[in-house]
Amino acid sequence: MAEQRTITLIVVDDHPVVRDGLRGMFESAPGFEVLGEAADGVEGVALAVRLDPDVVLMDLRMPGGGGVDAIAELTRRGARAKVLVLTTYDTDSDTLPAIEAGATGYLLKDAPREELFTAVRAAADGRTVLSPAVASRLVSRVRTPAAAGREPVSAREREVLELVARGTPNKEIAAELFISEATVKTHLTHLYAKLGVKDRAAAVAVAYERGILG
Amino acid sequence: MAEQRTITLIVVDDHPVVRDGLRGMFESAPGFEVLGEAADGVEGVALAVRLDPDVVLMDLRMPGGGGVDAIAELTRRGARAKVLVLTTYDTDSDTLPAIEAGATGYLLKDAPREELFTAVRAAADGRTVLSPAVASRLVSRVRTPAAAGREPVSAREREVLELVARGTPNKEIAAELFISEATVKTHLTHLYAKLGVKDRAAAVAVAYERGILG
DNA sequence: GTCCATATCAACCGAATGGCTGATGGGCGT
DNA sequence: ACGCCCATCAGCCATTCGGTTGATATGGAC
């Protein structure tokens, strides 16, 4: 445990405070070297390519260059660096996309120092590190191998979706379609699963992105 | 009050039950003649052009040819017919768009028979008939001559909107942007006003329609 | 015939949302 | 200086939502 090579890393986060905190934390610990920082995904990719670190600590939600895209880009380029996603919330809806995009690990910013260090070492070795919440979600994903891709939306579900996009509350949707509110909720639950989202607002967004609406 | 010419009308509604109900109601009353029925906006426009009725009773939400579009089309063609919108809910978010598109009146389906008759006669004369709820909303619109068109969304509001489109709950948006949840709600309230919607799902939809997102 | 997706409905519950009212402070145009 | 918009925050409250569990019926797919 005592003998280890130095692990190089870069920090990609739009919040200077977070960057400083991470840099300070890792520089004060033996065995780590922070090569640089970036404030968004695009910068992050450029920096990773230029500095070739062992590990990239990446925030997911950033203005101008989302973290998921950055991870995908690094993966596409076959970068050597392992990406460790550091996010504020485990409920983050980008969890799975990030992992699918090629992230090696995923954990919360409020994790204890030692856990961070351990995670970075693990990531450098190519081992996967997941926070418990993410891990359990992965399991459920395996159980339901559906949610990700092009799950077709049924005609009825699409009708509901259209009304949702117009701001119609469930009760009115029910009246409009001559069904009960319970049924509307069922359709919505199915839609959320198919579209890989958690609420109606995100469902509408995904629907537009996929051309289901608009 | 006793002497009046016969008023011709057509019914446009996707629900056969409603069409029958309206037809029966008007045919059993003196001074009205139902020339025809249509099940969606496109049919409705065609029928109105062909039969040239005095009044078009139009539902707003219909599959395949929205009511608002149909009204706009009739207006564009300079049709003689007056359009009277008959809707189920006064909370309908299409209220104002429908009136802007050229509807002569707007009332609820559950209005008393006499009120319907009066409204149709008024519409035939070109007089405006509004349900109380709609009328009050119009007043507030006049007070706030903003809401309709291109109200610019502030940068901060757009940030919030983006997160909303990703399904982020307010609490997390707050954390993500380093502000309080109260502020997030304020931004959302402003967004709803600017986009002319009532909830986050509709806000996302409008944002995509206007190119603010996507 | 059986399995599965779809569509329908119910009841319960905690959490999230939206409405309302009101307030403070910074920046900008006139 | 004054008004206006933006951004920030607070508290309350009714409504709405989403999760969960479970059930029934129908119509294809195999």
Single out the residue of A110, A13, A17, A115 nearest to residue A67, CA to CA: A13
Token pair 């997030």 in the structure block, residue:
B184
Burial of A15 (0-12, 13-18, 19+ CB in 10 A): middle
Is pLDDT of A36 > 90? yes
Least confident among A51-55, A75-79, A166-170? A75-79
Residue A179 (CA) to nucleotide C8 (C1'), in angstroms, measures: 8
pLDDT by residue (tens digit) across B156-167? Answer: 999 899 999 999
Q: Write out chain A residues lying below 8 Å of B175, CB-based.
A: 88-89
pLDDT by residue (tens digit) across B66-115? Answer: 677 888 888 877 778 888 888 766 555 566 677 777 788 887 776 777 88
Q: Write out chain B residues lying below 8 Å of A163, CB-based.
A: 61
pLDDT of residue A10: 93
pLDDT by residue (tens digit) across B140-161? Answer: 444 433 334 457 888 899 989 9
pLDDT of residue B161: 93
Helix, strand, coil percent content, chain A, rounded in steps of 5: 50, 15, 35
Is there a contact between B106 and B98 (Cβ–Cβ < 8 Å)?
yes
pLDDT by residue (tens digit) across A106-161? Answer: 877 767 778 888 889 888 887 777 776 666 555 444 433 333 445 688 889 998 99
Return the top range by mean pLDDT from A91-100, B19-28, B178-187, B205-214. Answer: B178-187
Q: Which domains does chain A have, with CATH numbers?
A: 7-143 (3.40.50.2300), 155-209 (1.10.10.10)
Among the partner residues B164, B165, B205, nearest to A213 by beta-carbon distance:
B205
pLDDT of residue A199: 93
Is there a contact between A57 and A10 (Cβ–Cβ < 8 Å)?
yes
Relative to beta strand B55-58, strand A32-38 is unpaired
Nearest nucleotide to B179, CA against C1' atoms: D8
Covered bases, chain D (protein CB within 7 Å): 5-11, 15-23
Predicted confidence band at A34 (pLDDT cuts at 50, 70, 90)? very high
Asked if the Cβ–Cβ distance from B208 to A203 is below 8 Å, we say no
pLDDT by residue (tens digit) across B28-56? Answer: 888 899 999 998 888 889 999 999 999 99
Single pTM value for the model:
0.53
Q: Taking residues B190-211, what's their average pLDDT?
A: 90
Return the top range by mean pLDDT from B24-28, B124-128, B129-133. Answer: B24-28
Asked if the Cβ–Cβ distance from A201 to B200 is below 8 Å, we say yes
Mean pLDDT of the residues in chain A: 81
